[in-house]
A and B are shown apart, each in its own frame.
Chain A
Amino acid sequence: MGLYFLKRVALSILIVMLAVTLLFCMIHMVPGDPARILLGPRATPELIASLSAQMGLDQSLPIQIVKFFGNILRGDLGMDVITNRPVAATVFGQLPYTLWLIFTAIIFAMLIGIPLGCYSALHRNTLIDRITGVISVACITAPSFVVALYSLLIFAVTLHWFPAVGAGDKGDFWDQVSHLVLPAFAIGLSWVGYLSRLVRASMLEVMSENHIRTARAYGLSENTVVYRYALKLAVLPTVTVIGVGMGFLLSAALFTEIVFARPGIGKLIFDSITTRNYPVVMGSVLVSTILFVVSTTLSDLINAWLDPRIRASL
């Protein structure tokens, strides 16, 4: 496990480095001189040249990339061109809101989706299985921003069960939780359906495997067979999908944060794109990328912990 851990983390670091390089090159390829855009149409050539030098744009691309990496390692993501504060401070100030939103959504989806999938698989072709199937597919197909808008209209505006906008008072835990419910529901709902379908399919597959017949032939109780012998195998694909799903949840969070006027990375990216605040866009995308790589790495590590065959494979 130790060796697998080291190899997998090293691979992730490599992926992050490649992604950052790619990101840097992509921004570089965008037509137009950033300094000229920042300074506006009436800037003098001297001003542009001095800002370019200040931003390091007069140096060659490889040197710029190396410097960029150096800055990232020091936690320096550049300066916010509008507020003139460090980008890192802005991004890390918003990050916890998005992280809480995503975690709550995925845990909500897991708590409902996984048991639902197990139940459907073990009671295959019963009425409840079919009803679960229809509801799951309905959940999957509902776009998160539609769910967000309607849940806002129904539960916040009409019923007044939950607050409509914002993230709640900083010191008040329960106020923050009540502000989290609707957005998390909005982006987690499709995952409830998705996970229940996925767990059902992999559970059915595992339950038909020979070793399950063996376990039964030894008289192990049905609970042991299902929850100890089968589930451990059946969750493997689910763990992988959740790892990748964190990335999709990041983009779903963008819509939800706009609809609920919640602070967060998604809202930050949206705002900074509309105000042409490129360093902040760059910083937020960078942090999101790292978040994505971290979550896929974590899911791989969890799978390796569950399945000894994966440990041996890398």
Chain B
Amino acid sequence: MSAEQKIDNVLSIRDLSVHYSTNRGELNALRHVNLDVPKGSIVGVVGESGCGKSTLISSIIRLLAENAIVPNGSINFEGSNLLTISEDEMRAIRGQRMSIVFQDPMSTLNPVISIGRQMIDIQYRDKKTKQQKRQRSIEMLASVGIPDPESRLDQYPHEFSGGMQQRISIAMALQAQPSLLIADEPTTALDATLEVQIIHLLKDLQRDMGCSILFISHHLGVIAELCDYVVVMYAGEVVEQGTARDVFHLPAHPYTEKLLKCDPASIAEKSRSLPTIPGEIPDLTSLPSGCVFKNRCDKAMPKCDSVVPEWRESAQGHFVSCHWAKP
């Protein structure tokens, strides 16, 4: 993962900050974020609600809200910095080399345009006949497990179940065989059995197509099951990054450690209440000095109050920003 190793990264984010100008002042949604997605791998991003996961995605596909400001940083995707290229160049990347599957399948498809029409519309760059495009859409629907895809192509989103709609979204996202698929909590709106099906589907498709996936979730079990690498976010910062094995077995940051303890799947003893991390995420409009996690950290030292921990490699390919973490 490190720069010295020169692993081929599809996506490489360096020192990215995003602010929103609000009535309450500047909201620091992302601060100095570093993130790599190596070619052909699945990278999971975990963090609680409001930690900046959605802002991160929006800045990658460059569909940020109007009040967002990007003061510094770079997003390198296959050799071009997504923050500096023109709108037309960005549009050429979207849906073609980089696709996204959104969170709520019931609202991501246009309700008044048939599935087939939407799938054919997004192939507008291909110089194929309408019949060939239609054929391609049928193949894609079949590959995500939609039964009888030929006749269902002319149906509308409301005629499909939520799980089916998410499969269709995945089919649309992978139709152009992108090199990067961003999955923004694709299973959060689905029930547990469907979640497992969608995860397996993604894993199979990733293996067949060889694309990279940036998988956003707050479900640790899903991340552990699916991902090669894990990125842990807290209050707009990336606090830890490493292989899934390292992060889950040897968490370097106290926040990751606590997060893992809160996962219901890891609880061995029965108790009346689920474990939580005491305290709240700091106000992003007026951040404390020093470490952003110090108020909820039981390992906080005097140094944490004044000095912002730097982003460093604590072990081979394992990055963390914490004073306490070894070495």
Q: Which residues of A contact B (CB under 8 A)?
A: 209-211, 213-221, 224, 228-229, 232-233, 306-309, 312
Contacts and interface: CB of A to CB of B under 8 A. Distances in A.
Top-9 shortest CB links A-B:
A218-B95, A219-B94, A219-B95, A210-B107, A218-B122, A308-B156, A211-B110, A219-B91, A214-B108
Interface SS of A by simple majority: helix
Interface SS of B by simple majority: loop
A68 to B, nearest CB: 43
Contacts of B91: 219, 221
Interface in B65-113: 91-96, 99-100, 102, 104, 107-113
A136 B113 CA distance: 31
A224 B110 CA distance: 13
A217 B95 contact: yes
A219 to B, nearest CB: 4
A57 to B, nearest CB: 53
A307 B112 contact: yes
Given A217-B61, A217-B99, A218-B99, A210 B108 contact: yes
B110 A229 contact: yes
Given A217-B102, A218-B172, 12 more contacts: A209-B107, A211-B108, A211-B110, A218-B95, A219-B91, A220-B95, A220-B122, A221-B91, A233-B111, A233-B112, A308-B156, A312-B159
A219 B89 CA distance: 10
B99 A215 contact: no
Given A213-B63, A217-B63, A224-B121, A312 B94 contact: no
Interface in B111-135: 111-114, 121-122, 124-125
B92 to A, nearest CB: 7
Given A220-B124, A308-B156, A309-B156, A214 B109 contact: yes
B94 A217 contact: yes
B158 interface: yes
A308 B63 contact: no
Given A217-B63, A218-B172, A309 B94 contact: no
A308 B110 contact: no
Contacts of B124: 220, 224
Contacts of B92: 219
Contact of B121 (A213, A216, A220, A233): A220
A208 to B, nearest CB: 10
24 contacts: A211-B109, A213-B63, A213-B102, A214-B108, A214-B109, A216-B63, A217-B94, A218-B95, A218-B99, A218-B122, A219-B94, A219-B96, A220-B124, A224-B121, A228-B113, A229-B113, A232-B112, A232-B113, A233-B112, A307-B112, A308-B111, A308-B114, A309-B158, A312-B158
B22 to A, nearest CB: 16
Nearest to A307: B112
Contacts of B99: 217-218
A224 B126 CA distance: 16
Nearest to B93: A219
A216 B94 contact: yes
B112 A214 contact: no
A210 B106 CA distance: 9
Contacts of A209: 107
Contact of B112 (A215, A220, A224, A308): A308
Nearest to A218: B95
Interface in B18-67: 61, 63
B104 A210 contact: yes
B88 to A, nearest CB: 10
Contacts of A215: 110
A273 B34 CA distance: 80
B95 A211 contact: no
B83 to A, nearest CB: 17
A306 B111 CA distance: 10
| Residue with the highest number of chain A CB atoms closer than 10 Å, among B91, B93, B110, B111 | B110
A214 B108 CA distance: 6
Contacts of A232: 112-113
Contacts of A214: 100, 102, 108-110, 169
B161 to A, nearest CB: 15
A210 B102 contact: yes
B190 to A, nearest CB: 16
